[in-house]
Structure 1
């Protein structure tokens, strides 16, 4: 890394309280979306397992 590359990096300014609140809300949205996605996938797996168990039960009868 060259010295001029380091010198051209601008420092990151701290966020204002309003900007911090918006950033926090955006992060909450992302976490909520991931939670919904994970829950849908969990329910889909549970449904498939139930169908598989039902199919095995009908084969063994």
Structure 2
């Protein structure tokens, strides 16, 4: 490595580390919430398709 490629890594104070950890936790929770909402939306759409298919099958008989 060249000298200009090296960067000093600053250690965080306990307060900064806590804030950083809370921010990361918030981001993970937000991602999990979005994934759950998407899953529920997909499940609802699948159920609607199944119900429509049943109605069409009953009409064709």
TM-score, scaled to structure 2: 0.85
**Structure 1 unaligned blocks of 5 or more:** none
Q: How many residues align?
A: 58
Provide the aligned C-alpha RMSD in A. 1.4
**Structure 2 unaligned blocks of 5 or more:** none
| 1:4 Cα offset (Å) | 4.9
TM-score, scaled to structure 1: 0.85
